[in-house]
Each structure stands twice: as structure tokens, then as C-alpha cells.
Amino acid sequence: MKFSDRFLALLELFKLRMTFHILITTLIGFYIASPVAIDLDWLQLLAWTLLGTGLLATSAFCFNQAMEKDFDKVMERTQGRPIPTGRVKVPTAYIAGILTCLLGAFLLWQKVNPLTAGIGILTVVLYAGVYTPMKRLTTLNTLVGGIPGALPPLMGWTAAQNHIGIGGMILFALLFFWQLPHFLALAWMYRDDYRRGGFKMLSLVDASGKTCFRQIMVQSTLLLLISLLPYWYGLAGKAYLVTALIAGFVLLWLGRRLQRSGTRQDAVRLFLYSLAYLPVVLIAMAIDKQILFVG
């Protein structure tokens, strides 16, 4: 195997597309929390924050794929990943996970602040050490997995303000409740794949999907309510509020449509819309952020 092929396989192991999405949420959290104008010091701090967060994200992905190598082999959605295809060896994945974790944590600790580094380490531990093994034990894995998934924007916040505060918790809650309908739609789309892999998913609780669809509606409703908090607490203005309301009601409508039909097609629609929902709401919050907010 050529060096270039090995390098590309390693980049694939890092899940750069997902890492990019994570960094977007980190960037917006950092920007919203920044009380000062953009200058060179601001840009340097942002760069170190994104680099450290990105390294920790790739670390979590390396550990996850190494731990699930045998299960990925039997799932159509994951059979083409670097480890099941033999392009990356399991020891290599663990070494890459350890190195990126250590480097990412070190950079955040030294160049940003210890709080952000601690949250980043917690993200890796929860994702790889708790969420990954829980996927084969209980349907609560989606709920638990939502915690590390919601921490990157909080890391952006703490990088800028060096404390969590109300604003940081709002960003965390927004990401947490967004993930639930997003991943439940994905779980319904690939329920046969998850069954083959032996994972405990809410989409497999009953054949009709009633339990899964009910949770999609409940969590989408909670997401809509949570999305009002940035306006309520003065983090964003009326333009954001209107955007969040429209986006939230569309998500609810798509969830209700899936609940009525139970088709994969409607699950795909909900999943794809959820991918658009998050950047739209976060960008609206960033554009309409209230400069005087410091909480």
C-alpha cells in the first residue's frame, strides 16, 4: 500500500467532514461569547481553540472506529471504513487516537485555558469510553451520546470567556436536543443495519416505530423551546427569534410527517433538514448576537 493511500486512509479515519461540522459549532460558540472586537489576539486564540478541538474530535473518532471494527464489518453503511477494509490497522488507529488526544489537550491547556482543555478531554472520554460501548447495551446510548456531541460549542464559549455561564449552557442545550431527532431519524433510516451490527437503538424497540417517532416529536418540541432561550436571556435578538421559530416548526412538521407515514423517505427528509437546521439557527444567532451580552 502506497504512502499516499495510507495517508488518505488515515484522513478518512479522522472523519474530516464531521470534524469540520464540529468546528463550525465551536467557532460560533467562540464568536458569540467574544465581548471584544476582532483583532490579532482574538484570531490567535480562535485558531488554537479550533486546532485543539479538531484534534480531540479526531481522537474520539479513531477510538470509536477501533473499538467497533468487528461491528462495522457487518453493517453496509460502515463496511467501507478504513479499518474494516484493512487500509488502517487497529493499533494504528489507537496510536493516532492517543497522539491526537494528547496533542489537542496540551494545546488547549497551554494556549487557551484549562477549563476548555478539561471539557475537551471529557468529550473524548464520554464518546469513546461511555457512548461507544453503551450502543450495544441500552437504547439510552443516543441520550448519552448527545452529551459529548453538544460540548464543542461550549468549548468555544469557554475558550472566549474562561467560564461556562448561562450562555454556554444554552448553547450546550441547543446542540444536545438537536442531536436527538437528528440521530433518531438516522437510526430509523438504517435500522436494519443497526440490527445486523447488534446495536441497541430506539428504532428497533418496535417494528412500527411508534416509540422512536414519539421521541422525535418530544425532543423536537423541547428543541423548539430551548431555541427561544437565546432571545429570552438576551444572547440574540428578534431576527434570531423569528428564524428559530420558523426552523423549529418546520422540524416539528417533518417529524409529524414521519410519525404518520413511517417511511424511510420521510426519515431521510427529516435527517437532511436537521443538517440544515443547525447551521441556519447558529448563524442567525451569531449574526443577531447582542454585543452587550456577557453572561
pLDDT for residue 294 is more than 50: no
Cα 219 from chain centroid?
16
Of the listed ranges 113-117, 199-203, 256-260, 269-273, the one predicted with least confidence: 199-203
Residue 293's pLDDT band, with cuts at 50, 70 and 90, is very low
Which amino acid, 170? Answer: I
Q: Exposure of 212 by Cβ count < 10 A (0-12 exposed, 13-18 middle, 19+ buried)?
A: buried
Average pLDDT (157-168) is 94
What is the C-alpha separation between 87 and 48, in angstroms, rounded? 31
**Mean pLDDT across the chain:** 93
Q: Exposure of 5 by Cβ count < 10 A (0-12 exposed, 13-18 middle, 19+ buried)?
A: exposed
How does pLDDT run across 65-103, given as a tens digit for each residue?
A: 999 998 888 888 888 999 999 999 999 999 999 999 999
pLDDT of the residue at 291: 54
- The string over 137-169, giving b where at least 16 C-beta atoms fall within 10 Å of a residue's C-beta and e elsewhere, is eebebbbbbbbbbbbbbbbbbbbbbeeebebbe
Question: What is the total residue count of the chain?
Answer: 295
What is the C-alpha separation between 252 and 216, in angstroms, rounded? 9
* Whole-prediction pTM: 0.92
Of the listed ranges 6-10, 25-29, 85-89, the one predicted with least confidence: 6-10
pLDDT for residue 36 is more than 70: no
What is the C-alpha separation between 201 and 60, in angstroms, rounded? 21
How does pLDDT run across 179-206, given as a tens digit for each residue?
A: 999 999 999 999 998 888 888 998 898 8
What is the C-alpha separation between 113 and 161, in angstroms, rounded? 10
Which amino acid, 94? Answer: Y
